Amino acid sequence: IDPSVVKQQQEAAESIKEEIDGLQEELDAVVNLGSELIAACGEPDKPLVNKSIDELNSIWDGLNKAWKERVDKLEEAMQAAVQYQDGLQAMFDWVDIAGSKLTSMSPVGTDLETVK
């Protein structure tokens, strides 16, 4: 996983959270209007309005929970991606160093008497 891809998704999630937060006042206003409607309407309609408000609150809570879960997963993915990239880079660095050491070693003699 490329950390830059995860970062883009984190930024998109933050943008969504800003939209959610921006709509919180509207949600509160709708719930308040619903409460006023419950107080003003007849007994047969109160359960319907109450049910609608409960559904709206439930959906809103579910949205916030889904956002939080997504942000948590993205954070985990970012940590894993960074650890992977760091480990991968360390291995590449080591291979380069080991390769340089091997190349700089003096050649092996071909005379068996000298090698002994």
Residue 116 to residue 97: CA distance in whole angstroms: 29
CA angle 25, 20, 82 (to 5 degrees): 150
Give residue 89's pLDDT: 95
What's 85's domain CATH number?
1.20.58.60
Number of domains into which the chain is organized = 1
Q: Please indicate, yes or no, if residue 95 is contained in any of the structural domains.
A: no
Q: Please indicate, yes or no, if residue 103 is contained in any of the structural domains.
A: no
Q: Please indicate, yes or no, if residue 49 is contained in any of the structural domains.
A: yes
116 residues of the chain, pLDDT tens digit each: 789 999 999 999 999 999 999 999 999 999 999 999 998 988 888 999 999 999 999 999 999 999 999 999 999 999 999 999 999 999 999 999 999 999 998 877 676 666 55
Q: What is the pTM of this model?
A: 0.74
Amino acid at 96: D
Residues 6+ apart with CB under 8 A from 20: 63, 64, 67
- Find the domain containing 24 and state its range: 3-89
Q: Please indicate, yes or no, if residue 98 is contained in any of the structural domains.
A: no
Give residue 41's pLDDT: 85
Q: Please indicate, yes or no, if residue 27 is contained in any of the structural domains.
A: yes
Q: Please indicate, yes or no, if residue 101 is contained in any of the structural domains.
A: no
Q: Please indicate, yes or no, if residue 116 is contained in any of the structural domains.
A: no
Give residue 42's pLDDT: 82
